[in-house]
Structures are given as structure tokens and as C-alpha cells.
Amino acid sequence: MIYYVGAFGLIIIGLYIILTKRNLIKMIIGLDLFETGIFILLICMGYIKGGTAPIFSKSGLNPALMVDPVPQALVLTAIVIGVATLALALSLAIKLYRHYGTLDMRKIRELKW
């Protein structure tokens, strides 16, 4: 249960940062925290008490005690894609900085809310 609290805590902190901070880099950090919270939530859902990794590396492992491989497979690809999208967001931040000379959202007119 504490894992769910932690995962949703990360998600809420990330959303709060995205909503309130005005520096673009901080907003990107918030986006990454949000993403990490989702990864932890997915992995927790597949956990089984006293479970082993879903790998038959030696004989005598009980299949009924293996943790769910599906969320692990999803998160495995999602982490790498998260890195790539993070790099894309950072490159957009670089471009905006070059154009406006600032990372402050209040001074970038078109992005104000």
C-alpha cells in the first residue's frame, strides 16, 4: 500500500510542479517526476508477495510466485522512450531560450496561461 502512496505522491508532485513553476527546466523536471511515478505504479501493480523475477534461470522456481511480466515489459520500453522524449523537450527548451533569451514562462508571451 505504501508503494501506491509513493507512486501517486510522485505523480501529484510532478503535476504540481508543472502547474505552478514558471521556469521551463523546472517544468521538464516535473514532467519527468510524473513519468517516474507512473512507472512505479505500474511495477507495483504486478508485484506478488514473496515473488521472484519471471526468469526460469534455475529449476525449481514456482511459476505461481512469479511477478507479473507484462507491466515490466511495458515499463522497460517506456523508460527508454521517456529518455528520448525528455531529450526532445530539452531541445525545445534550448530553441525557446535561443529565440526569447529567457526560460521564464511569464516572458514568453505565447505560452502564458
Partner 1 sequence: MRKIISIILLAVLIIGIVYCVREMPFGEAQSRVRGYYVSNGVRQTGATNIVTSVVVNYRGFDTLGEVTVLFLAAIGLSAVLYREEKKQRKAGRKSSLILYTGCRFLFPLILLFGTYIFVHGHLTPGGGFQGGAIIASGFLLTMLGCWKWGGINKVAFKITESFAGLVFVVVGLLGLLYSGYFLMNYLPKGLPNELFSSGIIPVIYVAIGFKVGSELTGVLDNLIEEP
Cα(82)–Cα(97) distance, rounded to whole angstroms? 22
70 binds partner 1 (CB under 8 A): yes
Instruction: Return the DSSP state at 64.
Output: G
Candidate list 29, 43, 44, 108; residue touching partner 1; CB under 8 A: 44
111 binds partner 1 (CB under 8 A): no
Length of the chain (residues): 113
Nearest to 35, CA basis, from 55, 52, 18: 18
**Residues at the contact surface with partner 1, assessed by CB under 8 A:** 1, 3-4, 8, 12, 15-16, 19-20, 44-49, 53-57, 63-64, 66, 68-70, 72-73, 76-81, 83-85, 87-88, 90-92, 94-95
